[in-house]
Amino acid sequence: MAAAADWWRTGVVYQIYPRSFADSNGDGVGDLAGIVAHLDHLGGASESLGVDAIWLSPIYPSPDFDFGYDVADYTGVDPRFGTLADFERLVAACHARGIKVILDLVLNHSSHRHPWFRASRTGRDGPFADWYIWRDSPGQTPTARRRRPNNWRGFFGGPAWTWDETRGQFYLHTFLPQQPDLNWRNPAVRAAIKDVVRTWLARGVDGFRLDVFNTFFKDAALRSNPVRPGAGGGWGSQVHLFDRNRPELVGALAELRAVVDERPGRMTVGELFDGTAAEAASYAAPGHLIFDFALLGLPWSAAAFAEAIRKRDASFGPEVWPTNVLSNHDQPRHAGRYDDPGADASVGDARAKIAAAFLLTQRGTPFLYYGEEIALRALAIPNSEAFDPQARRSSADAPAWNRDQARGPMPWQSGRDGGFTNGQPWLPLPPDLEFRNVARQARDPESVLSLYRQLLRVRRESQALQRGSQEAANVGDADVLAYRRRDADRSVFVALNFASRPAAIRLPEPARGGPWRISLTTHRRKPGDLLAEPVILAPLEALIAYD
């Protein structure tokens, strides 16, 4: 396992979407007890993946207008997932296996049913009156309707302001009207949030993922955003100068991180919302990572991956530690994104293996999304049948992908229910369940799951892969992505053939003067064997060697 002092830097984090991981009570919704029952898949057993931490998407009580990202109680556990005692058992079981626990913290907004908002909307003079962002209407439109305070748009479509009859003012919501934005300029709000953080730290939590953290502060004067001509009427129709990335954020993040740092070995990772790699790098700090998502939208191309790495490395530099992520609960699963429409599933799985080798050998902290270790694809669910509020509100002005498709149940075994539930699953099981499940892939040494296990073992055993510097390697074929990782004692060479044809490559000079030896390959080569030119990579082969 990674060293305790900087596990956030050297380890691997596995994201669990709790309602879709494993159901223990037959209600069709995954729960905390279901996660505990499957922890040996993740760590602590001889055939585990060997991850260092799990990140749980929100488990708090919520009316589920945005599936847990509308929090009604920041220190409780939603009964659908279990009890606080269940959570404590989960933490204990994880820690017994050497696995850290990261919670999702949704601090830009709460649920409209949170007691704070219920109190805030009752009047303008109470103790909670200024806990959210309220404004009077500045007047009437030519059609005698109330003008909104400015032109800001909601990410899910429509205006970012909703009129509240009880209070007689508009309130701000960057997302759904059921997700009112907290007023981070109010010291009482920040104090309450710090209390939430301390509560979970006292319960043994090892870190937090900060949802859309760069939207915490808005322009004090609420100036309207510039408009992008011809861009329609959705979120993308504006340049978001005044509703995110405000200068006051830096100080507030430092306050929040200081609370986390009261407990040694704890960390945060922030979700940069609608931002660039350069913006992400500016918010990073020791023990506090930032998602920049530069890799999420790339086409299947070695050149595209190489250019994304080059740009990100230029933004982060050698001192700032990045994150690596290819899939999450908001994006199409990458195994499906990389499928070749003209080929069978085996080609897609071979590409998924290349992606796995890339993710787990790049400089930075890898984040895996549940199911990617078996190359799970997205479900096919039309917007008309969606639970996802983003998809239900999709329009020509604000088109949206249905996120339900990336949140389907985990298939643990073959059979009607896939080992996920003995009830009716909240979302359908994948159509390829019979051959794409954990139990079947665990028995197959050539499966995607077996490769993930091998890759995680190789990474655990290599200081160069965990901590080393990184440099591109020119191997003479544009379809091969190649790079070196170095630490003081050893270097690792990685070559990934993105093409469905063989590729002849040149080897870089070994740093220590000796030959390159094979560490791992997806083709039929033996670990420990010497590599000597000419090296012919097989189609879609991933090769890792050490000197």
Residue 380 sits in the same domain as residue 435 = yes
Q: Please indicate, yes or no, whether the overall pTM of this predicted structure exceeds 0.85.
A: yes
Q: Would residue 113 count as lying in a domain?
A: no
Do 421 and 522 lie in one domain? The reply is no
Which contiguous run of DSSP H or E holds residue 86? helix 84-96
Pairing of strands 53-56, 469-472: unpaired
Residues 426, 314 share a domain:
yes
* 131, part of any domain: no
Same domain, 450 and 477: no
Tell whether 310 and 357 lie within a shared domain.
yes
Do 402 and 425 lie in a common domain?
yes
d(CA 453, CA 10): 17
Residue 316 lies in a domain: yes
Q: Which of 455, 490, 524 is the last residue of a domain?
A: 455
Q: Which amino acid is at 280?
A: A
Q: Which residues contact 102 (CB under 8 A, 6 or more apart)?
A: 13, 53, 54, 55, 56, 205, 206, 207, 208, 209, 267, 269
Name the 3-class secondary structure at 535: strand
Q: How many CA atoms lie within 13 A of 356 on its CB side?
A: 34
Q: Is residue 270 part of a domain?
A: no
Tell me the DSSP string of 50-82: --SEEEEPP-S----SSTTSS-S-TTS--TTT-
- Full domain range(s) for residue 504: 469-546
Q: Identify whether residues 343 and 446 lie together within a single domain.
A: yes
Q: What φ, ψ does residue 117 adopt, rounded to 5°?
A: -70, -40
Tokens of 157: 């479509």
Measured distance CA(24)–CA(423) in Å, rounded? 10
Query: How many residues are given for the chain?
Result: 547
Look-up of token digits 């339900």: 404
519 inside domain? yes
Q: Are residues 405 and 511 in the same domain?
A: no
CATH label of the domain that carries residue 479:
2.60.40.1180
Q: Is residue 93 part of a domain?
A: yes
Residues 6+ apart with CB under 8 A from 360: 12, 366, 452, 455, 456, 458, 459, 465
Domain boundary among 455, 485, 516: 455
- Per the domain annotation, does 180 fall within a domain? no
**Whole-number pLDDT of residue 4:** 65
Question: Same domain, yes or no, for 383 and 475?
Answer: no
User: What CA–CA distance (Å, rounded) separates 9 from 3?
Assistant: 9
In order along its 547 residues, the chain shows pLDDT tens digits of 444 679 999 999 999 999 999 999 999 999 999 999 999 999 999 899 999 999 999 999 999 999 999 999 999 999 999 999 999 999 999 999 999 999 999 999 999 999 999 999 999 999 999 999 999 999 999 999 999 999 999 999 999 999 999 999 999 999 999 999 999 999 999 999 999 999 999 999 999 999 999 999 999 999 999 999 887 788 999 999 999 999 999 999 999 999 999 999 999 999 999 888 899 999 999 999 999 888 998 999 999 999 999 999 999 999 999 999 999 999 999 999 999 998 888 999 999 999 999 999 999 999 999 999 999 999 999 999 999 999 998 877 677 899 999 999 999 999 999 999 999 999 999 999 999 999 999 999 999 999 999 999 999 999 999 999 999 999 999 999 999 999 987 899 999 999 999 999 999 998 877 799 999 999 988 889 999 888 999 999 999 999 9
DSSP string, 9-44: HHS-EEEE-GGGT--SSSSSS--HHHHHHTHHHHSS
* Among 346, 408, 415, CA closest to 380: 408
Torsion sign across C-alpha atoms 362, 357, 303, 526: positive
Question: CA neighbours within 13 Å on the CB side: how many for 522?
Answer: 30
Domain boundary among 404, 426, 455: 455
Q: Is 407 in the same domain as 521?
A: no
Q: Are 494 and 544 in contact (CB under 8 A)?
A: yes
DSSP result, 481-513: EEEEEE-SS-EEEEEEE-SSS-EEEPPPPPTTS
Catalytic residues: 211, 262
338 and 303, same structural domain?
A: yes
> What's the CATH number where 301 sits?
3.20.20.80
* One-letter identity of residue 417: D
Total number of domains in the chain: 2
Token couple for 13: 């984090």
User: Vertex 244, ends 239 and 247: CA angle to 5°?
Assistant: 115
94 and 67 inside one domain: yes
How would DSSP label each residue in 510-534?
PTTSS-EEEEEESSS--TT-EE-SS
In a domain, 39, yes or no: yes
